A and B are shown apart, each in its own frame.
Chain A
Amino acid sequence: MDITIKGLHFSYNGKPVLEEISLSIQKGEIFAIVGPNGSGKTTLLKNISGVLTPDAGAVYLDMKQIAGLSTREIARHLTAVEQEREVGFDFTVREVVAMGRIPHQGRFARETQKDKQKIREAMELANVISFADRPIRELSGGEKQRTFLAMALSQEPKVLLLDEPTTHLDINYQIQIMEIVRQQTRTGLTVLMALHDLNLAAQYADRVALVHRGRLLAIGEPKEVLTPSNIRRAFETDVVVGHNPLTNSLYINTVPYRRKASPPLGNIHIICGGGSGVAVLHALADRFSLSVGVISPLDSDFQAAQRLGAKIVIDAPFAPISPKAYKENLDTMRSSDGVVICDTPFGPGNLPNLRAALELENKVNIYILNPEEIEKRDYTGGQAAQLVRQLVRSGAVPISSVKELKRCLAVDYCSTDRGVN
């Protein structure tokens, strides 16, 4: 069953809550509505299910306006599980799930064989059958949610609306519910859910609508809608959007809030690669302005550096460092206040970075992380180890941890003059 919404407007107490909402949802789709709290997600769901009546516009189920349908008729095709549901009396799980059959029964009807079957199937699908005789009020949050889902499923809806079905649930239960829902859509169920968890939406939804202050900001596939710029507009926060190869879906991470108030204590250049620089970059990003080099754009340190706004001296991957890059790197190091060499594995490709550090002739403070372990990271047949030992002999400071590095740098650079050896 399709859902079509045309020009929906809704206001509460004179204040507009939803404006100009139009969208259509295909049969068998999982459609997610995301947006910050107060953006109108729940209100939108309630307008679609018929609990609320829009001020303008209409909602159609398969071309039929729901405004013209009776409550019972709606319930035969569409049902919803709202965010918080409190059960008034000590009904057992089975009794609750059995209520889902009400729209299909007459007032005096007893439970038919078909009813019993649907109830049992729903309880099995939602994995609640093992405690079917327990009172629902004794269950945990996750068990209750699954029971309500079973109740909804026993109603044999063609459209299922879920409002924040995963709140208060542990990760395993969140996934469980999503998997059950996805499985049902394969047999034609249309699912519309409001989610605040963007990653779940990205992972499970076929299409997403982003709502902001009652208006539709974007509709489309998750990768089209869940972009950093959209999310910045809607949630007023910065995120990084990546692709998770394991799940083959987007992942969205928030970026830690940067204190922009204080001016940097100095410029630090970081020699890293292969992920060795991530910790150092994050540790120093607050207090120092950073530069990184030489690394390739495929390097994982590259992404971290980019996120943190560091200057990056790049060069092509899988090739020796070009003289141009080498010079740029050296110049950057010369104009910096300090150089940090991370516990990077060194091979022929990035060995020149070490050479460049030596060329500084200690005119700039050099800090080396775990220099005594260089043998383990040396893939240059001993050259890297030799260079490192030379650096230490000529005054580079050996550091054993990122914490110690931070402390050291704070001490050395807490005055306003640039650090001098």
Chain B
Amino acid sequence: MPKRVLVVLAVLMLLGLIASAQQYPVTVIDDRGLEVTIESQPNRIVVAGIPLYSEILIDLGALGRLIAVAQSPDNPPEVADLPRVGESFSPSVEVILALEPDLVLGAWGAVRDQLEELGIVVLTTGRSGAIIASVSDIFTTIRTVGIAVGNSARAADLIGQIAEQIIIIESAVLGREPVQVAFLYMSVPDTAPYAIGSGSIENELILRAGGTNVFADIFGFPPVSLEEVLARDPEVIFTDPDHVENVLESQLLRDVTAVRDGQVFGIKASYSTSTKVAEVLKLMSEFLHPEE
């Protein structure tokens, strides 16, 4: 009898092994539309790009396989003790190479080219140019990374959780009058600010939170004149937490509805490009529709 149990256990284990072994090699599509093949389960992962990748690995339970990250002020606290490979916009190929990784996440441009030439597997997702510009881009990243590290089931779960949260938040403000919003950066007081326009994740979040981006007619991240802000007269202004004072105390903007009513709120943009995007959305919707 115990022998049979042993045999069944062995067969089950084999099946499990086969099941997991069957996952590799996997092929995914990166931001360039090219195929990237991962031969076997990566155990030495380096994040050489934005902190989103680190967050995903943490949420997928793969933190133990993360050996180094790029420096960024938005890195999640769990990676604080990991060695650094340079800045997220300028990582060091040499240092990455020395770590002998089997997967590098988030690298792009010249760094990616060099790493690939040295035979290292690099995976970066998003739109062309490694850009995360929408919630679905975040989902694509989660799914792709999940497949790459062999945790596609948990990745699907994570996507589902975030999606569920987003839908709950959205339905709470569904049907309400959309609030006029501007998302600005004004690092120097009373100078022409940068506005976030269409084609960005912030724009999408504003829409989902029950608002309208007054600068949605402009694409990208353009500098706009103070007059334009006055003319479009947003009711709420989102900005970097460090810039809130600049906006509230701006002489030239004091006639803007948002400034007059004190409706200027700080939102860290990097939180939008993260697995915590639903929390950012919740914050936004509360700012826009506080009665709820």
- State if A and B touch, Cβ cutoff 8 Å: no
Binding site for A on B (CB under 8 A): none
